[in-house]
Amino acid sequence: MQLLNTLYVTLPESYVHLDNNTVRLEVEHETRLRVPLHHLGAVVCFGPVSVSLPLMHRLAEDGVALVLLDTNGRFKARLEGAVSGNVLLRQAQYRLAGDPAFALGVARNCIAGKVRNCRQVLLRGARESKVDHDAAVLTRGANDLAASLRALPTAGDLDTLRGIEGEAARQYFAALNFLVRPAAREVFRMDGRTRRPPRDRVNALLSFLYSLLMNDCRSAIEAAGLDPQIGFLHAVRPGRAALALDLMEEFRCFADRLALSLINRGQISADDFVEREGGAVLLEGDARKAVLVAYQERKQENLSHPLLAETVPFGLLPHVQARLLARTLRRDTDQYLPYLVR
């Protein structure tokens, strides 16, 4: 398995087209970038970007996803070639999605992975904090998440499970403010998780990173031969990639940690955001490029995978986990085991 690059096109009025075996990016007839096609796993376009029809055909033929997002990173469309993967695997997925006991088991493990990984974020922050009060708040938050983990086995249905997850998320985001360096808390403070639209700078940054992570998880699900629309934790709705959202849960903490790093290192400032009419706060301009670069760099970092007993680049972890999920659906393993942060 090879980690391919994702080409993010953010410049307004860009024109992306095919030039022999390379992708060529032009702005006002001036070439800004050339990338060999065989280096790419996806092309993601933000806002008013033009893509040539020959390039669309070639991307579909080569299995390279073309994703269209609006200027703020919200999903608009996705172009991909013929559906691949084992039809028997998808049949098993559809059948088991209708099995309440099986669906509950997969959903429980997805949430357990998310809550456990979020707890590790708080524990790490408590250990590294130089302020006793902050460390105490973070430790208390970690203890609350431990209680949520203990409650998961008692949940007898999906609604109860989602209720436990919702309460754990509320406790986690309440503690997240104390992971921001004190000097930046006045401008980078969140009052719980808000989206559609985000109401503060931290939520705006998280929403942008979550959209990137979501695209990667959807690509991993499709590469494993699974249907991204049919999930176990998230309800099935038209146009919703429920299984990709399920897979994404255990990886949200990586987006959270990256957001905190960008804030605490001063790579993102209050001036990088704009407040729109109605209270929406959005990440603007060059700041999006800085976040994209940081995200791509983070995907190159090697992490230890406890089940494989080897190191794997973070960018490949969704693919590894999607394949493990496929093995569970084939009944090659008893249960799906999420990736756990050490």
Q: What is the pLDDT of residues 125-178, one digit of tens each?
A: 999 888 889 999 999 999 999 999 999 999 999 999 999 999 999 999 999 999
- 8 Å CB contact between 195 and 207: yes
Q: DSSP 3-state assignment of 227?
A: coil
Please classify residue 235 by burial: count the beta carbons closer than 10 Å to its beta carbon, then call 0-12 exposed, 13-18 middle and 19+ buried: exposed
Q: How many CB atoms lie within 10 A of CB 216?
A: 25
Could you tell me the CA-to-CA distances from 318 to 52, 66, 166, 216, 223 in Å, in that order? 30, 18, 23, 7, 10
Ranges in the chain, pLDDT < 70? 1-4, 72-73, 83-85
Amino acid 96: pLDDT: 95
**Pick among 1.20.1730.10, 3.100.10.20, 3.10.105.10, 3.40.50.11890: CATH of 5-79:** 3.100.10.20
Amino acid 312: pLDDT: 84
Fold for 87-329, please state it. Answer: Four Helix Bundle (Hemerythrin (Met), subunit A) (1.20.120)
- Sequence ranges of the chain with CATH classification 1.20.120.920: 87-329
- Sequence ranges of the chain with CATH classification 3.100.10.20: 5-79
- 8 Å CB contact between 42 and 79: no
Strand ranges for 104-156 from DSSP E: none
Radius of gyration of the chain (CA): 20
Closest to 254 (Cα-Cα) out of 301, 288, 323: 301
Amino acid 16: pLDDT: 92
